[in-house]
A and B are shown apart, each in its own frame.
Chain A
Amino acid sequence: DTGVSQDPRHKITKRGQNVTFRCDPISEHNRLYWYRQTLGQGPEFLTYFQNEAQLEKSRLLSDRFSAERPKGSFSTLEIQRTEQGDSAMYLCASSTGRSSYEQYFGPGTRLTVT
């Protein structure tokens, strides 16, 4: 399968703990995006990388959140001092950046903060 992959698929953590998620984009895609989705809502944009450069961050991305894409390939999203409100599905998407900006999503990491 050469699609976007994410790890882990599910994460349960206690409030106050740190968590890190990984995303591996489609190999030839230079653009990588992180979104968050809560129940009954559409995904909401968090941040965007072109190669290794983080070019845009949403106001949703508080200072407890940090994302990296050190070599322009895989990306990590870390949440420090998790809160119950962080419980959501964290989706990663990638695109080539050519024509119409179609993005392809990974299966997501479902985070539950207890």
Chain B
Amino acid sequence: RKEVEQDPGPFNVPEGATVAFNCTYSNSASQSFFWYRQDCRKEPKLLMSVYSSGNEDGRFTAQLNRASQYISLLIRDSKLSDSATYLCVVNINPGTASKLTFGTGTRLQVTL
């Protein structure tokens, strides 16, 4: 089993749609969770950290379910500019304060 698993997509959605991405992680002791966005041939950019209580940033909502070891990202009112790959990222081994473990990414294509 991969340490961080995501549906690779692609998700093709019309502008204005709501889309949700899911991610599961293998280590129940993991403590830090993130969503990164990566445009084609660019570096990953931090979209948002994911907190236990869930958090929202504009059109983006992230949630964490520790019991199911599951993270989600919801994008409302999709824009063409949201087209990118969304990477689920976990600090799998807490206490090491080091490596992040990335999922393979979910590709989103927003169309007119």
Interface residues of A (CB under 8 A from B): 31, 33, 40-45, 48, 55-56, 58, 91, 97, 100-108, 110
Q: Which residues of B contact A102 (CB under 8 A)?
A: 34, 46, 49
Q: List 22 A-B contacts (CB under 8 A).
A: A33-B100, A40-B8, A41-B104, A42-B4, A42-B87, A43-B100, A43-B102, A44-B102, A45-B98, A45-B101, A48-B99, A56-B98, A56-B99, A91-B43, A91-B44, A97-B97, A100-B32, A101-B32, A101-B100, A103-B46, A103-B100, A104-B46
Which residues of B pack against A, CB within 8 Å?
4, 8, 32, 34, 41-46, 49, 87, 89, 91, 96-105
Say what secondary structure dominates the interface of chain A.
loop
Compute how far the CA of A58 lies from the CA of B105 in the bound complex, rounded to whole angstroms: 21
What B residues does A104 contact at CB under 8 A? 46
Q: Report the minimal beta-carbon distance from B16 to chain A, rounded to whole angstroms.
A: 29
The answer to whether A43 and B44 touch (CB under 8 A), given A100-B32, A101-B91, A102-B34, is yes
